[in-house]
Structure formats: structure tokens, C-alpha cells
Structure 1
Amino acid sequence: MKRLLSLLLCFGILLFWSSCRNDFEFTPSKGNLGFAQDTIYLDTVFTNIGSSTYNLKVYNRSDDDIVIPTIQFENGVNSRYRMNIDGTTGLEGAQEGKFFEDVELLAKDSLFIFIETTINISTLGALENQFLYTDKILFDSGNNQQDVDVVTLVKDAVFIYPSKDDTTGIVETLSFDVDGDGTPDETTLEGRFLADDELTFTNEKPYVIYGYAGVGAGKILTMEAGARVHFHADSGIIVTNNGSLNINGTLSPDQETLENEVILEGDRLEPLYEDIPGQWGTIWLYNGSENNTINYATIKNATIGILSEGNQDAPSDKLTIRNSQIYNVSSFGILGRATSISAENLVINNAGQSSFAATYGGKYNVTHSTIANYWNSSFRQYPALLINDYVLDENNTVFTNVLIEANFNNCIIYGNDNPEFLLENEGDEFNFKFTNCLLRFNNNELSGSGNYDFEDESFYLGNVFNEQPYFENTSENMMRIGDDSGANGIGLSTFAAQVPYDILDKNRTASPDAGAYQSVVFDED
């Protein structure tokens, strides 16, 4: 009986206490909201491409539970922005995402507003290729009104994309001669061939590519100095039989930066995506393409920077690449398969597998280049430089192809793994040579025998091993070398005479350093 009375007494006290609570008595906001920031900057977007979602945190620092009568955009239903408040989209219909009423906010609590946009620059009356679009988020009205600015830079662009069937939703795919029998083959590669009037990329507007932009037989795709090319996910460029790619970037007038270079990267412009690998596919120099040249280009954030296949015996190299950089690729910086590549003043860093892979034989001549790999996002299977003369089919059958030559002259081959080059041959003819290079190879089990007999001057001559290159900042892909670098002064003048200026047009003939850059004295922080 006493227990029952005690329980009833406790229940009565709880009931009385709860009836006195005023937790759910909200008072109108008095214009004293706090904001995590006074301006929301939505990073640059292309016209008609949706932005990332940004957030604004709103605080009620008072001791009262409040209700905010209205939250809306200043431009109302005509605003190009959309918002979501703690999971709700506001009033239905035209006002959805634009106007909210009676938003409750407890004492000492906060809420999140999520903002995004999709803007068609042509509807803004913009006369230039970019337009700064602004609006405000208004909280309450009258004397209690507070506001937060919202700002976005919108860029116009040239969009290249395959057609899509409105009924079936099937996207156009490329057809070209895959097996070399002279007849087109239907592929599963989404994309289309560039029309004749699309074969010159200028610096007037950026280009945004969906799917693969194809260069057809006998056609030449030219990219002029300063061109900017952006690829959507799983997109790229494919150069097919008898087609060519010519990238013609230049050094900036101050000879310190590469502002007039051609940049090829993903189509997400937000800083979050600036260095994320694997955002797009590759530049695919298909078997049969010819006379491809790249000068002063930066290729970044791809799956494979350049994939060059076949034509190892072509009269001129299938790919000639100079004064160019390849960074932040999820697989290979350059992947060659039974092909021919000539490279000068080439810089590669941060690849999920190899920075430069010369596979299934072929012909490669690389001079005054920096082949580095300081990848730290995951385990990588291969070193910075991989050279082999074979492939395996699905049954693990080995097929070999002669390595005609693989010459690396006055180069740096280094990284955060050891060793940083691997030479694997299954065939009898495997021709390679390293001359006056800085190499990372410190493996007692392999050194001194087979392909790693460093005393055999037929394959190794004048090299320096395992001395620090002292790059400026590998995590930021700043690959200049300091004045105390192990690469300083080790270059052979014969090759320096062939490539007398480094990637920043600094003369190297007097005392050539290995790699793409002549050394500098870094500023002390």
C-alpha cells in the first residue's frame, strides 16, 4: 500500500511539473539571430550545371524558444538559388525552396540552411562569358529583418555531348574501326565525333565534354594556347585511325608561370575537387592515330592522363610531348602499349599506379623529365616508372613484343616508395638505358644482376642513386628542385644541348640539372 501511495505521489508531482513547462511556447524572433558567416560563396559553376550544396548555420543564442516568421530569398520566386532548411523545402509550388514560414528554433540551438543553384547564363542578360550572380537570404521583415548574401560566379562554356533518344533514353555511342579491318565497329563508348567546325578549341570560352569527343579519320583536333577543357565523369578524348591531336600551349610572358598553357581537368570547379583523382577518363590515342603533339599542357585529375596504343614503328613518334605536366591521376599518368613516345621537359606526379608505364614493348625516348610519384591516397602496386615487353590474356597466356628502345636521359625518377623503377621482360630483345639520371633504387636483392646490373654501362651510365631530389612541395605538385638537390649538375651536356631550356624557359646548357626544372634557391618561410 505504501509503495502504491509513493508511486501515485511521484506521478502527481511529475504531472504537475510537466504542466508548468513552457518549452513549446515560442516567441517571435527579435532580429538577434547569429550566423556562421555573413556571405555564402558558391564556387564557380558552368551555365546549366548544378552546383555543390553549401550550408549556412543559424544560431539562436538567446534563452527563449523563438519562431522566425519568414525566411526567403530577396529575389523571391525568381531567385536562381534553392534552399532547404533542416530537411524541408518550404511552401509547395512556385515558392518551394524559396519561402519558409514560422521556422521554430529552440533556445541555445541552431539550424542548417542548405543552398544550391543551377543557372542559365543566357537568362541573366550577361554580355560576357561570365557573370556574378547574387541574392540575399532574408530573415523576418521590418525592423527585425536580417540578411545573408549569396554569391556565385557563372561561366559560359561550349558544351560537347552525345545525343540521347528521348523515348528510350539511350545515349549515342562511337563507331570506328576497332579491329583494323577497315569497317566501323559499334562500341559501348558513349560520345560522338567532333564536327569540322568543332575541331579548334580556342581560349574564348571553356569547353565542357560529356562522354568521349572523337577525332575521326584524317581529322586534327587543335587546342590553342590558353584553352580550358573540362570533362564530366567517364568522359575524355579519343583520337582514332589517321586522326591527330595537337595541343599548342605556350609559356606566359613572365616566364614564371604556365598561364597560357592548355589545361585539361574535370568539370567540378569547387576547391574541394581541385586535386581529386579519377574525375574523368583519359586522352586516348587509339591504335592508328598519328603525329599527336602536346606542348605546354597540364592534365590533371584523370583516371589515365594519356593512353597511347600501337604504332611503335610509325615514321614519326605517335606522341611527342614537351613542357607539360600530368598530376593526380587515379591509375597511370602516361600508359603506353606497344607505342612510340618522345618526351622532353615532362613532369608527372601523384599517380595511383605508375606515373609512366611503357608496356608491351615499343619505343620511348625521354629527356630532361621528372617522373615522380608521391601518391599517398592508397597502396600502389607499381613504381613511378614501369617498363615491360609483355601482356597477359584472360588465360594468363604471355604475349611478348620487342622493346625497341627505352632511353631516359638527364631525368629524375623518384618517389615515396622504393624502388621507383621496374624492368620486366619475357622476350629476348629488351633495350633500355638510363643516362645521367637521379634514380631511386635501393634493393639489395635485385641490385647487381639481370636488368639491375648498375655497373653495366650498356644500360646505366653516369647515374646518381638515392640522393634526395628536394622537390619544392610534392603534395602540392610543386616539382622544382632546390639548390641542394641530388639532381644538381648531374646532367650530360649533350642532352642539355638538345633541350637547352627547362620547362620555365630557363637556360640549362651551362650546368644542366637532371629533370624538367633547373634548380632554384627556395624562399625561406
Structure 2
Amino acid sequence: MKRLFSFLLCFGILLFWSSCRDDFEFSPSKGQLEFARDTIYLDTVFTNIGSSTYNLKVYNRSDDDIVIPTIQLENGINSNYRMNVDGETGLEDAQEGKFFENVELLANDSLFIFIETTIDISTLGALENQFLYTDRILFDSGSNQQDIDVVTLVKDAVFIYPSKDDDTNIIETLTFDVDGDGTPDETNLQGRFLTDEELTFTNEKPYVIYGYAGVGAGKTLTMEAGARVHFHADSGILVTNNGSLNINGELSPDQETLENEVILEGDRLEPLYEDIPGQWGTIWLFNGSINNTINYATIKNATVGIIADGNQIAINDKLTISNSQIYNISSFGIRGTATSITAENLVINNCGQSSFAGTFGGKYNFTHCTIANYWNTSFRQFPALLLNDFVIDENGLAVVNPNGLTEANFNNCIIYGNDNPEFILENEGNVFNYKFNNCLLRFDDDNLAGTGNYDFNDTTFYEENVFNQNPDFEDPFENLIRIGADSGAKGINDSTFGVEDDILGISRSSSGSIDAGAYNFTSFED
């Protein structure tokens, strides 16, 4: 009984106190709102592709609870922006996401405005391939009105995507001769083959690819200097039997910018995504593709930078790659399988597994290349460089390539990283030919050094190399791989294996000595 009486007494007091409160009496805003920023910049978007969601924090610094009579986009229902104010989408009519009434804001409190956009550049009357679209968020009206600018750069693009069945929603997949037996194989790779009219990528507009863009038998895809290619998730380039990929970038006139390079990356343009690995699939050079060349290209943020399969004993190498960079790859920078690759002035860094893996044998010749790996996002299972002559079958047994590793020559290269050792050589067969000449190598393992494939005094396999000296990279974790004046790679090279200019087009003979790797040394400013 006493407990019941106490409960009723407390309840009565609470009821009386609450009935006397004069809280939550909102007065109109007087135009004294404060904002976290004066302009909302929605980063560059492609036409008809939705942006990320951005936010604006709005503050009521006064001691009064206020009501904001209206929050609206200046262009009203014609605006290409959409807003959400503290979880509300606005009036449920044609102006939803454009207009809000009587928005309450407590004293010394704040609210969030979230804003996004999808813009069709063709509706803007734009005469160029890009257009700066603007609007304003208006708070209140009349003498109390305050505003925040909203700005977005919209780029036109060439979109390449597979067709989809309207009834089943099944997306088109690629069918081609996968195993080289002359019979077309149906794959589960979403995508389509490029038409003849699509086989030249120019620098006039960026290209946005959904799914895999296939290069058909006997066809050649050419990417001209300055081309920009963007891939959606699980997308890439696939080159089939007797097809070719030719990427023809050029050195920029100032030797510093990427203006004339060909850049292949993901389709998210916001700075948040600038260096995130695994945003798209790969460039896949299937068994049977021929005469693939890449010059002055940057390949970044993929799952695998390049996959090259087969054609180990072909007269012409499967892939010739020069003056190019491969960065921020969630798996392998280049994965070759019983294939043939020639590389000069190539830089690979920041890969979740190996920067370069030559597996199941093959033929590889790398000169003045920097094969680095400073991956620090997760555990890395493999070193920067991996070479072997076998694959593991479904029973866990090693299957050896009968041709073996016919060549693996690394001349004037840097093979280094933040792990140790940074190269592993594994063979199960008898044909396993490799040679390191005038390289800077990281291999500081007393248990392995001097044994098996790691007898560094055997000049059949190792000659004039430098071990475990700091390469003095500019900032390898940020993919700045130039070497400094204190680099262990400085002046250690033999001109016999030389490439006349470094990756920046600077003569190697101008300094009086030849440095290992893709770059001549430079003196960094403090």
C-alpha cells in the first residue's frame, strides 16, 4: 500500500511539473543560423550517375528554440539536387526533397542537411563535355534569408555496358573460346564485345565501362594518348583469341603531369575513392591474345592490374609494357601464367599480394623496373616478386609446366618493400632459368640465403647486385617511388642492360652514372 501511495505521489508531482513547463515554445528564426561551410562541393560526377551523399551541419547558437519557416532549393522542383533534412525528405508532392516547412531547431543545437544529385548533362544545354552545375539552399525568406551554394562538375562520357533482358533482368554475359579448343564457351562474366566503331578510345570524352568490354577475335582495341577509362565494380577489359590491346600513351611535355598518359581507374571520382584498391576487376589478356602493348599508362585501384595467360613460346611476347605505373591493387599488380612479358621503366607498388607474379613458368624480361610493395592495409601473403613453375590442382598436388621457366631476367631493377624477403623463387621442375643483374634486392634471411635458389655468389643467377640497402623512395606508402640521393640503387647499374631514358624521359647518361629502377635519382627538398 505504501509503495502504491509513493508511486501515485511521484506521478502526480511529475504531471504537475510537466504541465507548468514552457519549453518547446519555438520562435521564428531571425536569420542568425551558422553553417559548417559556406559552399557544398559535390565532387565531379558523370552524367546520369548518382553522386555520393554530402552533408551540411546547421547550428542554432542562440539560447532560444527556433523554427525555420522554409528550407528550399532555389531552383525548386527543377533543381537536380535532392535534400534530406534530419531524416525528412520534404513535402510529399512534386517538390519532395526540394522544399521543407517549419523546421524546428532547439537552442544551442544543430541539424544535418544531406544532399545528392543525378544530372543528365544533355538537359543543361551544355556545349562542352563538362558543365559546372550550381544551385543554392535557401533558409527562410525576405530580410532573414540565408543561403549556401551547392556546386557540382558534371562530365559527359561514353558509356559501354551490356544489355539486359527486360523480362528476366538477366544481364548479357560473354561467350568466347576460353580454353583454345576452337569451341565457344559461355562464361559468367557480364559484359559484351566492343563493336568496330568502339575499338578506338580517344581523349575527347572519358569512357565508363560496366561489365567486361571484350575485344573479339582478330580485333584490336586502341587507346590513344590522354584517354581516360573508368570501370564500374566487377568490370574490366578482356582480350580474346587473336585479339590485341594497344595502349598508346605519351610522355607529357612538362614530364610531371599525367596529361598525355592513359589512365585506367574506377568510376567513383570523389577524393575518398582516389586510392582505394579493388574498385574494379582487371585487364585480362586471355590465352591466344597477341601483340598486346602498353606505353605510358597508369593502372590503379583494381583487383588485379593485368592478367596475362598463355602463349609462352610465341614469337612475339604476349605483353610489352613500358613507362607505366600500376598502383593500389587488392591482389596482384601483374599476374602472368605460363606467358611472356617484356617490361621497361615499369613501376608497381601497393598490392595486396605480389606486385609481380610469374606463375606456372613463362618467359619474363624486366629492365629498369621498380617492383616495390609497401602494402599496409592488411596481411600480405606473398613477396613483391614471386616466380614458380607449377600450379596446385584440386587434390593439392603440384602440376609442373613442361616448358618450365624458360627465362626470368631482371636487369637494373629494384625489388623492395616493407616485408622480408621480397622475392621468392619456387620450382618443382628442372627448367627454371632466372638471372638478377645489377639490381637492388631485399632479401635478409639467413636461413634461406646461400641455399637452393638463393646462392647469391653463383654468378649464373646473380651478378653485381646490392642487397638490403635503403632505396630512399620519396614516399612509397603514397606511391611516390622516385629515389633520392642516398638510395642504395644509385649508380649500381650496367649500361649493357640500359634503357636510354628513365620513366620521366630524362636521359640516364646525363648524371654520369646509371641508377637501378625506373627513375633516375633526384635530390628531394626538405
Mark yes or no: TM-score above 0.5. yes
Counterpart Cα distance in 1 of 2:258 and 2:141: 50
Counterpart Cα distance in 1 of 2:358 and 2:216: 26
Name the residue aligned to 1:90.
Answer: 90
Counterpart Cα distance in 2 of 1:163 and 1:9: 72
Name the residue aligned to 2:69.
Answer: 69
Name the residue aligned to 2:429.
Answer: 427
Counterpart Cα distance in 2 of 1:395 and 1:7: 73
Name the residue aligned to 1:472.
Answer: 474
Counterpart Cα distance in 2 of 1:37 and 1:495: 56
Alignment of 1:2-151 (within 5 A): 11-151=11-151
Counterpart Cα distance in 2 of 1:230 and 1:2: 75
Q: In structure 2, what residue type is equivalent to 1:460? A: Y
- CA separation of 1:305 and 1:24: change in aligned 2, threshold 3 A: same
Answer yes or no: is the 8 Å Cα contact 1:412–1:514 preserved in 2: yes
For the pair 1:513 / 2:515, whether they are aligned, the reply is yes
Name the residue aligned to 2:374.
Answer: 374
For the pair 1:460 / 2:462, whether they are aligned, the reply is yes
What's the offset of the Cα at 1:411? 0.2
What's the offset of the Cα at 1:6? 7.0
Counterpart Cα distance in 2 of 1:369 and 1:36: 47
Q: Deviations over 1:74-125 (max 9, x none)?
A: 0000000001111111111311111111111111111111100000000000
Counterpart Cα distance in 2 of 1:296 and 1:3: 84
Aligned partner of residue 406 in structure 1, secondary structure = strand
Name the residue aligned to 1:183.
Answer: 183
Name the residue aligned to 2:361.
Answer: 361
Answer yes or no: is the 8 Å Cα contact 2:308–2:339 preserved in 1: yes
Q: Deviations over 1:427-486 (max 9, x none)?
A: 111100100000000001100010000010000000000000010011211100001100
Instruction: State which drifts further: 60-69 or 220-229.
Output: 60-69
Name the residue aligned to 1:440.
Answer: 442
Answer yes or no: is the 8 Å Cα contact 1:342–1:365 preserved in 2: yes
Q: In structure 2, what residue type is equivalent to 1:303? A: T
Answer yes or no: is the 8 Å Cα contact 1:408–1:434 preserved in 2: yes
Answer yes or no: is the 8 Å Cα contact 2:415–2:442 preserved in 1: yes
Q: In structure 2, what residue type is equivalent to 1:140? A: D
Counterpart Cα distance in 2 of 1:247 and 1:6: 84
Alignment of 1:287-326 (within 5 A): 287-326=287-326
Counterpart Cα distance in 1 of 2:7 and 2:411: 90
For the pair 1:216 / 2:219, whether they are aligned, the reply is no
Counterpart Cα distance in 1 of 2:6 and 2:331: 72
What's the offset of the Cα at 1:336? 0.2
Instruction: State which drifts further: 90-99 or 449-458.
Output: 90-99
- CA separation of 1:14 and 1:495: change in aligned 2, threshold 3 A: same
Q: Deviations over 1:210-250 (max 9, x none)?
A: 00000011111000000000000000000000000000001
Q: In structure 1, what residue type is equivalent to 2:517? A: G
Q: In structure 2, what residue type is equivalent to 1:280? A: W
Instruction: State which drifts further: 503-512 or 377-386.
Output: 503-512
Counterpart Cα distance in 1 of 2:257 and 2:153: 24
Counterpart Cα distance in 1 of 2:17 and 2:140: 34
Q: Using the aligned pairs only, state the percent identity.
A: 80
Q: In structure 1, what residue type is equivalent to 2:241? A: N
Q: Which runs of 5+ in 1 are unaligned?
A: none
Name the residue aligned to 1:265.
Answer: 265
Counterpart Cα distance in 2 of 1:11 and 1:189: 67
What's the offset of the Cα at 1:22? 1.9
Instruction: State which drifts further: 389-398 or 14-23.
Output: 14-23
Q: In structure 2, what residue type is equivalent to 1:514? A: A
What's the offset of the Cα at 1:7? 6.5
What's the offset of the Cα at 1:131? 0.2
Counterpart Cα distance in 1 of 2:181 and 2:370: 39
Q: Deviations over 1:364-404 (max 9, x none)?
A: 00000000000000001000000000001111122111000
Answer yes or no: is the 8 Å Cα contact 2:179–2:287 preserved in 1: no
For the pair 1:207 / 2:225, whether they are aligned, the reply is no
Q: In structure 2, what residue type is equivalent to 1:371? A: I
Q: In structure 2, what residue type is equivalent to 1:199? A: L
Alignment of 1:137-176 (within 5 A): 137-176=137-176
Q: Which runs of 5+ in 2 are unaligned?
A: none
Counterpart Cα distance in 2 of 1:492 and 1:184: 48
Answer yes or no: is the 8 Å Cα contact 2:208–2:232 preserved in 1: yes
Counterpart Cα distance in 2 of 1:9 and 1:217: 88
Name the residue aligned to 2:453.
Answer: 451
Counterpart Cα distance in 2 of 1:358 and 1:378: 22
What's the offset of the Cα at 1:138? 0.7
What's the offset of the Cα at 1:181? 1.9
Q: In structure 2, what residue type is equivalent to 1:461? A: E
Instruction: State which drifts further: 83-92 or 301-310.
Output: 83-92
Answer yes or no: is the 8 Å Cα contact 1:257–1:504 preserved in 2: no
Number of corresponding residues: 522
Answer yes or no: is the 8 Å Cα contact 1:160–1:213 preserved in 2: yes
Answer yes or no: is the 8 Å Cα contact 2:400–2:428 preserved in 1: yes
Name the residue aligned to 1:392.
Answer: 392
Q: In structure 2, what residue type is equivalent to 1:55? A: N
Aligned partner of residue 304 in structure 2, secondary structure = strand
Name the residue aligned to 1:226.
Answer: 226
Counterpart Cα distance in 2 of 1:334 and 1:289: 16
Normalising to structure 2: TM-score of the pair?
Answer: 0.97
What's the offset of the Cα at 1:132? 0.2
